[in-house]
Amino acid sequence: MKRLLILGAGTSGTMMANHLKHELDQEEWEIVIIDECDTHYYQPGYLFLPFDLYAPEDIQKPIRDFIPRGVNFMHEKLDKILPAEQRVISANGDSFHYDLLIIATGTKPAPDETTGMLGKEWKKSVFDFYTYDGALDLRNKLREWEGGKLVVHITEMPIKCPVAPLEFAFLADSYFKHKGIRDKVDITFVTPMSGAFTKPKATAALNHLLTEKHINIIPDFAIERIDNDNKTIVDYGGSSVPFDLLVTVPTNKGDALIERSGLGDELNYVPTNKGTLQSKDYPNIFVLGDASNLPASKAGSVAHFEAEILTENIKRYIAGEPLKADFDGHANCFVETGNGKALLLDFNYSHEPVEGEFPIPGIGPLRLLKESRMNHMGKMAFRWIYWNMLLKGTHIPFVSAAMSESGKHYDK
C-alpha cells in the first residue's frame, strides 16, 4: 500500500483530499491528511467579523466534517519534513512515511517581524484581523471605539488575500456611517505598494473608490517600526503616520514547519514550479495554495483552481507520465466596497483585471471591476458555496481553472 500524505487541512488540503479520494485507486493508495487544528475557519469571514456582519459561529466548523470517508485525518502538530527519507515527524515523535507529499500548510501573520508591533499597544490600539482571535478582539474594540485616526496598514507583500485590507477600509467607512460617527473617524490606508493594488487598471478603479469614500492613501510606505509611546508607524525613510487605532496586516510567512525542514525561501514559502505545482527540489512533493512561492495571489480561489490542475498532475505523476504546466495563475476575488456593494476581479499571471462580465461573456450577471449589488450578493453567497461546494471539490459551473479571456474588455 502506498501513502499520499497531505499536510494541512485548510482550504487547499481539504479540497485535495476530496478530489483525490475519487481519483486514486483505494486498493493501492492510502490518503492521510494531518493538521494541528480541529477547527476549519472560513477565512474570508475574518473581514466581516470585526464589523459584526458575521458571528463567530458563521465561520467555523469541525475539520472532520469536510474530510471524506476513506481519508484518514490525524490531529497532530508536526515537527519536521525529512524529504530525503520520505518521512514526516510529528511533535510527539511519531513518524509518517509517504510516497507522495502535498504541502498545504498555508501562511500565517508574523507580527514579531516588525519592531514594536507586539509592544504595549498590541490589542489595545494595534490590531490585526488575519487570525480568528485578532478579528474577534478587533470586533470588541470597534464596538466601543468612539472615533479618531484609523490607520489600515499593510506591512509588506506578499500577503494572503491582497485586497482584504482595502475591503477593510471600505467596510470601515460604511460601518462608521451607519453608527453615525463617520465625521469623527479619519481613515488612512497605508501600503508598501505604489497604489491601492499592483495591477494598473484595478489600482485606478480602487483609488477612485478610496477618494469617493474620503479614505486617504499613503503609498510606498515601508514600515521600520511601531512607536508605541507616540502611537505612530515609522517608515525606513523617516516619515511617520499617527494613529489612534491601527489595523495592520503583519508580515505573512509560511509555516515554521517549512523553515525547520529547510524547505522554504526567506519567507518560508516552498519554491514551486508555477505551472505544474511540483516542488522545485523534490519530484514527489507538490505544493498547493498559500504555502508555495508562486507569483499568484494567496487566495482561496487560486487554491481552488490549483487543486483541479494538481489533481490531474498527481494522476500523471503516478502513471509515470510527464506533468502539464497548466496552472495560469488564475485568481477570482470579490472586493467588498461597503454599503451592500462589491466589485469583482478575475485575472491570471499574464492578464491584469479589467472590466467585463462574469462568468458568462456579455451577460454576467456579475460585473468585473465595477461596483454592483449583484457582486455583493455573490460574495455573500460564496460562504455557502465554500462550505458546500468548494471544500468538497465540486466544480463551480461556468468557472474554469484556466482563466477565460472572453467577456473581458482588454485594450486592443
Partner 1 sequence: MEKIISGKNIAVNEEGYLTDFSQWNKEIGEALAKEANITLTPRHWEVLAYLQESHKNEIPLSIRKVGKSGVVDIKEFYELFPQGPLKTATKIAGIPKPVSCI
| Interface contacts to partner 1, rule CB under 8 A | 156-158, 162, 192-194, 197-198, 220, 222, 224, 236-237, 266-267, 294-298
* 238 contact partners, CB below 8 Å, separation of at least 6: none
Quick one: 194 or 230, whose CB is closer to partner 1?
194
Smallest separation, CB 162 to partner 1 (Å):
4
Name the grid cell of 210. Answer: 478610496
Min CB(62)–partner 1 separation in Å: 32
Give the residue among 155, 173, 157, 83 at the shortest CA–CA distance from 118: 155
Q: Which is nearer to partner 1, 54 or 221 (CB)?
A: 221
Strand-strand pairing, 285-287 and 100-103 = parallel
Considering the complex, state which of residue 49 and residue 241 has its C-beta at the smaller distance from partner 1.
Answer: 241
In terms of phi and psi (left: phi > 0; alpha: psi -120 to 50; beta: otherwise), the region of 302 is: alpha
Nearer to partner 1 (CB atom), residue 49 or residue 202: 202
- For the record, the C-alpha cell of 298 comes out as 494567496
Strands (E), 91-239: 95-97, 100-103, 107-109, 126-127, 148-154, 185-190, 216-218, 223-227, 232-235
CB of 36 to partner 1, least distance (A): 27
b vs e for 218-254, b when ≥16 Cβ sit within 10 Å of the residue's Cβ? Answer: eeebebebbbbeebbbbbeeeebbebebbbbbbbbbb
Minimum distance of partner 1 from residue 236's CB (angstroms) = 4
Half-sphere exposure of 128 (CA within 13 A, CB side): 20
Residue with smaller CB distance to partner 1, 156 or 326: 156
Specify the residue, 156 or 244, whose C-beta has the smaller distance to partner 1: 156
| Complex with partner 1: residue 236 or 384, whichever CB lies closer | 236
Shortest Å distance, C-beta 157 to partner 1 = 5
Q: How many whole angstroms separate alpha carbon 77 and alpha carbon 343?
A: 39
Rounded to 5°, the CA angle 356-192-136 comes to 85
Give 193 or 377: the residue with its C-beta nearer to partner 1.
193
DSSP secondary structure, 202-240, as one string: HHHHHHHHHHHTT-EEE-S--EEEEETTTTEEEETTS-E
How far is the C-alpha of 210 from the C-alpha of 167, rounded, in Å?
A: 10
Smallest distance, partner 1 to C-beta of residue 232, A: 17
Residues near 110 by Cβ (< 8 Å), separated by ≥ 6?
A: 250, 251, 252, 253
The least distance separating partner 1 from the CB of residue 274, rounded to whole angstroms, comes to 10
**Eight-class DSSP state of 269:** P
DSSP state letters, 17-37: HHHHHHHS-TTTEEEEEEES-
Closer Cβ to partner 1, 298 or 304, answer by number: 298
Q: How far is the CB of 222 from partner 1 (least distance, A)?
A: 6
497548466: which residue's cell? 326
Q: How far is the CB of 198 from partner 1 (least distance, A)?
A: 4
